[in-house]
Structure 1
Amino acid sequence: MQVVRVAVLAFEGASLFHLSVPGMVFGVRPVPSGLAPYEVLYCAPTPGRVRCDQGMEIDVPGGLEAMEHADIVIVPSWNHPERTAPAALTAALQRAHLRGAQVVGLCLGAFVLGDAGLLDGRRATTHWACRELFIQRFPMANFLPDVLYVDEGNVITSAGTVAAIDCCLNLVRQRDGADVANRVARLLVTPPHRQGGQAQYIEQPVPSSHSENRLPGVLEWARKHLSEPLSVDVLADVARMSRRTFTRRFREATGATVLKWLAAERIARTQLLLETTDLSIECIASEVGFGSALTLRQHFATQLHTSPSSYRRLFCETKRTFRSNRRK
């Protein structure tokens, strides 16, 4: 069973959080899994001791040549988005991209991908705080300012902090399926894999009352009852809140309306069933609570820009491709 190699760039002043995200996500393997393991290697423009943003130093033995044999290359943020990234680094990313590796820019790491010319004509995102600078520096990119991450096949960019976890979980989902990605998320005690089109959480208030702390339980309850006709009133009753209070706190906690959140959760469940079962589209529509195949297809097209049947076919083809590449 061939190992999936992941090369993560380390550099002076790198965010310790973003450096650790790939190791956390790809280092957790549900047991028993029977899946090819991931090997996470850190590399730097100049091998040796690298000081992180919190003052800690880490030893990075490998140089940029680690990118030459990696299946996934990750730039986890960047310190100076206003400056052009070093030529040696952008050239290494270009070579990795040309031979078919997935090149990922987490948070401000998207700026490095832009400097490498990998975002021209492609959709991309980055941390919301640097959106104006990104638009100014990369006018040829199709910038999406409010999404968690953008998957353009072998070029992927994400927003900041927690969105980096969602982005890496999406890479796991591509190779191993939604069920494995969600199991990894549970082991990390993080929310299940979220679609990249969901909004960035620009402001995330800390729960301030006992009633507000009940909201996560309501979300989990809703996920277990997606096949039922859920509404704001139903969820407010479960939370034991008034409709008005629940609506406000739901938006504060999720960054979305109840209807949008339910639609996203139902699409995520649809993806899982398309990937792991042979159920018909009609049966899946009933299982996830859309009611009819037509409604499912409409929501699926709106969120994922494809049809359920095309998604199932593409997922199967992608899985075969990944497995074929591993055997080479």
Structure 2
Amino acid sequence: MSTHRIVMAIAPGMPIFEAAVPCMIFGVDRSHVVSPWYEFSVVAVGGEPVPLLPAFQFDTATPSGDLERADTLVVPACLNVHDCPPPELVDVVRDAYRRGVRILSICSGAFVLAAAGILDGRRATTHWVHADELARQYPSVRVDPSVLYIEDGNVITSAGTVAGIDACLHLVRSDHGAAVAAEVARRIVMPPHRDGGQAQYFRPITAPTSGDNWLAPLLDWVTAELHRPITNADLAAHARVSVRTIERRFADVLGLSPLQWVLSQRVRRAQQMLEDTDQPVARIADACGFGTPAGLRAHFTRVTGVSPTVYRKTFQARA
């Protein structure tokens, strides 16, 4: 079995964490787990020492010739998604794709892949904060901000930061099997497997802050009444308008139906209570208007991708 060569291409201003993830997964010798392990190297595009953020400089990158030998190319996050990616890095990605190299982007590294044209017509993801911008800049990319990572042929895109670890472990699993990937995950104290289709943690949908003099008081009323059932008729009665007006106004301002927005606020309230209190799930379900623990679990899991119990274990503040 030949050694699989993984090369990470870095450019000035890339965040340290996203650049460190592939080094941690692929760059540590794990031949005691499986042999041969990967041959891993880092190439500084342009050949000069690369300053990463915050205040860190990468001086030991290998010669650019490694790029031509790569079986897998990794592109970490960009610093500023509003700036054009370095042309040299875009060329590296485009050339690798033409040679049939497997390509992985982490977080906003998807912008580099999109600039190279290799995401056109593909489903791809990035950090949810940048998803709208990726779709705006590259309308031919089918941006899905709801998942941890997406594999489309030999192109893999991952969501923000820690999702890059999941995507790297996915490659280990594809190359060496689930047992090896699970062992690597244990070594770095990570869950052995989070499926790529699992949701990125729920992005709260907040009330608009401008141009909403008519709607804002109604939204405030909803957040104060989340403990009880709320229908479109209730909203219309409180606002003293028709149900049709309520539905149209929510769609125009929030891009959601009234009941979708109410559900988002119930989930948001549940998140806050799971993070900040020790109240039992039954009490949280009642306070957020889900009625029963089963109702809370069903809606919460569908929206966030994880159960209330898992969410609490992950995010609850500890003294």
Could you state the TM-score of these two structures normalised by the residue count of structure 2? 0.64
Identity %: 38
1:44 aligns with 2:44: yes
Match of 2:157 in 1: 157
1:76 aligns with 2:125: no
Q: Distance in 1 between matches of 2:63 and 2:295?
A: 51
Q: Deviations over 1:121-177 (max 9, x none)?
A: 111011101111111111111111111011012111010011000000110111111
- Give 5+ residue unaligned stretches, structure 1: 213-231, 234-242, 262-328
Match of 1:115 in 2: 115
Match of 1:14 in 2: 14
Question: Aligned in 2, Cα 1:99/1:50: closer, same or farther, shift over 3 Å?
Answer: same
Q: CA deviation at 1:192?
A: 1.7
- Give 5+ residue unaligned stretches, structure 2: 204-270, 283-291, 311-319
Match of 1:135 in 2: 135
Q: CA deviation at 1:80?
A: 2.5
Size of the aligned set, in residue pairs, is 233
Contact persistence 1:182–1:192 (CA under 8 A)? yes
Q: Distance in 2 between matches of 1:39 and 1:131?
A: 32
Q: Distance in 1 between matches of 2:103 and 2:74?
A: 6
Q: Distance in 2 between matches of 1:14 and 1:86?
A: 11
Q: Distance in 2 between matches of 1:104 and 1:113?
A: 9
What value does the CA root-mean-square deviation take over the aligned residues?
3.3
Contact persistence 1:48–1:60 (CA under 8 A)? no
1:67-216 alignment runs, 5 A limit: 67-202=67-202
Runs of 4+ aligned structure 1 residues displaced above 4 Å come to 28-32, 202-212, 245-248
Question: Aligned in 2, Cα 1:31/1:50: closer, same or farther, shift over 3 Å?
Answer: closer
Look up the SS of the partner of 2:19 in the other structure.
helix
Look up the SS of the partner of 1:195 in the other structure.
coil
Q: Which has the higher contact order (CA 8 A, sep 6+)?
A: 1
Query: Aligned to 2:304, which of 252, 255, 261?
Result: 255
| Greater Cα radius of gyration, structure 1 or 2 | 2
Question: Aligned in 2, Cα 1:66/1:210: closer, same or farther, shift over 3 Å?
Answer: farther
Look up the SS of the partner of 2:117 in the other structure.
coil
Match of 1:238 in 2: none
Q: CA deviation at 1:210?
A: 7.1
Look up the SS of the partner of 1:185 in the other structure.
helix
Letter in 1 for 2:4: V
Q: Distance in 1 between matches of 2:91 and 2:32?
A: 39
Question: Aligned in 2, Cα 1:199/1:181: closer, same or farther, shift over 3 Å?
Answer: same
Q: CA deviation at 1:195?
A: 1.1
Q: Deviations over 1:268-308 (max 9, x none)?
A: xxxxxxxxxxxxxxxxxxxxxxxxxxxxxxxxxxxxxxxxx
Look up the SS of the partner of 2:49 in the other structure.
strand
Q: Distance in 2 between matches of 1:15 and 1:51?
A: 9
Q: CA deviation at 1:98?
A: 1.5
Letter in 1 for 2:169: L
Could you state the TM-score of these two structures normalised by the residue count of structure 1? 0.62
Q: Distance in 2 between matches of 1:3 and 1:132?
A: 39
Question: Aligned in 2, Cα 1:210/1:36: closer, same or farther, shift over 3 Å?
Answer: farther
Contact persistence 1:45–1:63 (CA under 8 A)? no
Question: Aligned in 2, Cα 1:29/1:44: closer, same or farther, shift over 3 Å?
Answer: closer
Q: CA deviation at 1:188?
A: 0.7
Question: Aligned in 2, Cα 1:55/1:93: closer, same or farther, shift over 3 Å?
Answer: same
Look up the SS of the partner of 2:91 in the other structure.
helix
